[in-house]
Amino acid sequence: MKKNIKLIIFDVDGTLINDDKKIISENIEVIKKLRDKGIKVVLNSGRTFNAMWKMRQALGLMDFDDYSICGTGAFIRRNADGKAIVSNPITEKDYNRITSLLDGEDVQVSIHTKNYLYLNEEKPNRGFLVDQEQVGLAWLKFEKFSDIEDGISRIALAAEPEVLDRIYKKHKRELEKDYKLMRNEVHILEILNKNAGKSESLKKLLDILDMDSEEVMYFGDGMNDVKSLELAGVGVAMGSGKKEAKDAADYVIGDNNEPSIAKFLREYFSLYE
């Protein structure tokens, strides 16, 4: 039986955008039709706020009652002006503690903010460059923490996989007491505020909107989408996504390089021409 969906949430990379980092025009058309019918649309991404501006603009998500869940749930921001409605930042105290555990390892430390990636090295390593490509932000160098703008969504450690494996094994238990650790890429270890997370901030957004999780449809493809797919009344995983995401979903559709989202939405909401 189809559910009364009032809110559709889209993961971005691997889901809403294709491998060319664009939203397929057919998907845009159908999503806008659903918005015209009064269904809210929200982006929920590991990207920070201004790394999603093209997607918000393409979908017309630019009003004061439009929101984005950013930085893997570190922030919920109002789309019209970027104001943080929910904040789970990383602080200077966190930065000092985390960097004190690196034990002289060959690791680069980057800091993700609303507008930029900040790096503590002169020349970025390949892990950082992969991360930058994924999040779609310009990067700046920093010498001290006070150089960095407010609103830090996460710290990312970039290094060779074996180096990160050592750090993770040695400090995992200590760090997980106070932080959320994520390893979506072999060259990157992400460290977030304990209260961040895509599903955690989705729950907070539902409280703000006075909606129930059964009224949510969620599209995702990655490990960090699993809890949200399970939470939503209708969870939809991309066929090109991780096995764990597909296992958690109610539906599995085609990949992100096809208008799979449009096809599914047309059928579910009976959008006949």
Report the C-alpha gap between 251 and 245 in whole angstroms: 10
**Is 3.40.50.300 the CATH classification of the domain at 7-87+197-268?**
no
CA-based max dimension of the chain: 62
| Side-chain-facing half-sphere of 227: CA atoms under 13 Å | 12
pLDDT of residue 136: 87
Q: What average pLDDT does this structure show over 23-40?
A: 97
For residue 169, what are its two tokens?
């094994």
Q: CA angle, 63 as apex, 61 and 67 as ends, to 5°?
A: 65
**Cα 138 from chain centre:** 17
DSSP 21: S
| Structure-token pair, residue 131 | 């991360």
Q: What is the pLDDT of residues 135-157, one digit of tens each?
A: 889 999 998 888 898 789 999 99
pLDDT tens digits, one per residue of 205-264: 999 999 999 999 999 999 999 999 999 999 999 999 999 999 999 999 999 999 999 999
How far apart CA 273 and CA 80 sit, in angstroms, is 32
The enclosing H or E element of 188 equals strand 188-193
The pLDDT of residue 218: 98
Residue from 16, 40, 39 nearest 28 by CA = 16
- Residue-wise pLDDT for 152-181, tens only, equals 999 999 999 999 999 999 999 999 999 999
Residues 6+ apart with CB under 8 A from 19: 256, 257
pLDDT > 70? residue 273: no
Mapped onto helix, strand or coil, the DSSP state of residue 184 is: strand
The whole-number pLDDT of residue 13 equals: 94
Q: Which residues contact 195 (CB under 8 A, 6 or more apart)?
A: 88
Answer whether 119's CB lies under 8 Å from 139's CB: yes
Sign, CA torsion 138/143/145/146 = negative
Domain boundaries, the chain: 7-87+197-268, 92-193
| CA atoms in the 13 A half-sphere facing the CB of 100 | 8
* Fold of the CATH domain 92-193: 3.30.1240
* pLDDT grade for 185, boundaries at 50, 70 and 90: confident
